Amino acid sequence: MSQANPEAKRTEYLAAAAKMYDELHQWREKHPVASIDEIAGRITPERRALMGQLLSQLARQHGDGSVIEGVMCPGCGEAMTPKGKSKRDVVHLEGEMGLERAYYYCSPCEYGIFPPG
């Protein structure tokens, strides 16, 4: 997904939401006696995937941290060294996503962070 074009991201997200909506309504037509728990069981993974997509967009909205100047170690105050990018899986109540961000390391403290925050 393009991070440079907010309108393209919005369009892609809304298309995914519309697809989810249509698929869930089609499923419900085929399962007219489904219980609330069965319906929720069908919706939950779809919702988590959609929210994971939105979480990913919002987490990357201001970049991946690779263009931050002067990242200082919160422990010793020394300048931290960029060490490339690292990917981690993020599991949240609202969804799951893979998040790749710049990683910075402080040699004296042996401390690493994914800025910002």
If asked whether residues 69 and 53 sit together in one domain, one would say no
Give the pLDDT confidence of 28-59 residue by residue, as tens digits.
Answer: 999 999 999 999 999 999 999 899 888 888 87
pLDDT category of residue 2 using cuts at 50, 70 and 90: very low
More confident site: 69 or 19: 19
For 64-87, the pLDDT digits (tens) are 666 677 888 888 998 888 888 877
Residues 10 and 57 in one domain: yes
Same domain as 83, residue 55: no
Instruction: Collect contacts of 105-111 with beta carbons under 8 A, ≥24 apart.
Output: 105/80, 105/81, 106/73, 106/75, 106/76, 106/78, 106/80, 106/81, 107/81, 108/73, 108/76, 108/78, 109/73, 109/75, 109/76, 109/78, 111/73, 111/74, 111/75, 111/80
Domain count, the chain: 2
Residue range(s) defining the domain that contains residue 28: 1-61
- Indicate whether 53 and 21 sit together in one domain: yes
This prediction has a pTM of: 0.63
Asked whether residue 63 carries a pLDDT value surpassing 80, the answer given is no
